[in-house]
Structure 1
Amino acid sequence: MTRTALVAASAVAALAIAAPTASATPHTVPVKKGHTSVTVAPAIAKALLSNGIAPIVTRPGKPSLTTVGNQPTLKATYPVTGGSLTTNPLGGKILHKGGLKFTNVFNGRSLEVKNFTIDLNKAQLTGRVVGTETRVPVFKLDLSTANVKLTKHGADATNVTLKLTPEAAGALNTTLKTKVFASGLTIGTANTHPRF
């Protein structure tokens, strides 16, 4: 074998070893527990309340008051109950219990979504509309603002921007008989901490 042929054969062999196989798949790990918190932007909280819209956190979600830029606002924390994540690339779903009920105090109309699912593959948060079997996309997840960290025992994604979907904005305006909700409206931010 000539020197040129030997070099070519070695290069082909090296490429064959380095090339990923067709069966290679991302590593998937089950999510066992954790929590996700949603902080409403102060301007949005003020706009909702001034228009008679009261956001109510439903169990086992836990409401609390916090401040953003020295302004008071609402924070909701929900337990993570399951799901699975792929670690490379990051993807999968994170399941939760609890919900969020919007009530128009001027007319008594309300709409509640519960059992949220964070779908990292579609970059959205969905919820089931109470009283139906319908699951709707509630928020679009803007991950460009997020800080993501993977550890041996879990993942942490902080400062994920939540933008209201067209479906959610339409359903809220129609059900509550209001015009306060708009598609693409930045509702606030989320921090999620699933544990493996």
Structure 2
Amino acid sequence: MTRTAFVTAASAVAALVIAAPTASAAPHAVHVKSGRTSVTVAPAITRALLSKGIVPIVTRPGTPSLTTVGHQLTLKATYPVTGGALTTSPLGGDITHKGGLKFANVFNGRSLEVGNFTVDLNKGQLTGLVAGTTTRVPVFKLDLSTAHVKLTKCGADATNVTLHLTSEAAGALNSTLKTQVFSAGLTVGTADTHPRF
């Protein structure tokens, strides 16, 4: 092999080594420091719940408010982001929160509360801790196909994430509240999350 051919071959190998990803390479994660996440309940769901005597109550430090969707009044719940870690390429990781959501049946006095929500982008779900237990359950499946995502140096913004009730949550709510108003896959509403790094 001539010296020129040897140098050319060596350069090609070096280029391949540099370009090839290593087996231990992992997406860079950034620590989430603060922010907020809001859940807007679909107006039809708000009406269906209230008609069956089911009242959703936002628990502290979450804050409730009223908003309109398509000129129809509905409930909005906003929760402070407390931590987590996100990868930006690909988008993944988790976002943790404080506060919760309590469902109370005014007809029989039964209730169920979940809180300390975690948005798990890797699994595409929002989980919650059942009040008074150490049990964490998947509450919503996240439909990101409807979402608008924007990444900046100081945070991320994901809006219009559609929330579908999981079978686990629907079963627990129906069983505890003694109702049949909840069903697996029910489109409960949308979420907007704004974690800050």
Which residue does the alignment assign to 2:118?
Answer: 117
Match of 1:13, SS state, is: helix
Which residue does the alignment assign to 1:103?
Answer: 104
Cα distance in 2, alignment partners of residues 101 and 53 from structure 1: 10
Q: What amino acid does structure 1 have at the position aligned with 2:62?
A: G
Residues 1-196 of structure 1: matches in 2 within 5 Å?
1=1, 9-196=10-197
**Matched length:** 196
TM-score, normalization: structure 1? Answer: 0.95
- Mean alpha-carbon deviation: is it higher for 128-137 or for 169-178? 128-137
**CA drift at 1:13:** 3.0
Unaligned runs of 5+ in 1: none
- Mean alpha-carbon deviation: is it higher for 108-117 or for 81-90? 81-90
**CA drift at 1:14:** 2.1
TM-score, normalization: structure 2? Answer: 0.95
**CA drift at 1:11:** 3.3
- Mean alpha-carbon deviation: is it higher for 5-14 or for 75-84? 5-14
**CA drift at 1:12:** 3.0
Aligned-residue sequence identity (percent) comes to: 80
Cα distance in 1, alignment partners of residues 99 and 182 from structure 2: 22
Deviation string, structure 1 residues 42-101 (Cα, Å, up to 9, x no partner): 111111111111000011100000000111100000000111111211111111000000
Q: What amino acid does structure 2 have at the position aligned with 1:155?
A: A
Deviation string, structure 1 residues 93-121 (Cα, Å, up to 9, x no partner): 11100000001111111000011011111
Match of 1:48, SS state, is: helix
Q: What amino acid does structure 1 have at the position aligned with 2:147?
A: A
**CA drift at 1:8:** 5.0
Cα distance in 2, alignment partners of residues 16 and 82 from structure 1: 37
Unaligned runs of 5+ in 2: none
**CA drift at 1:16:** 1.7
Cα distance in 2, alignment partners of residues 13 and 26 from structure 1: 23
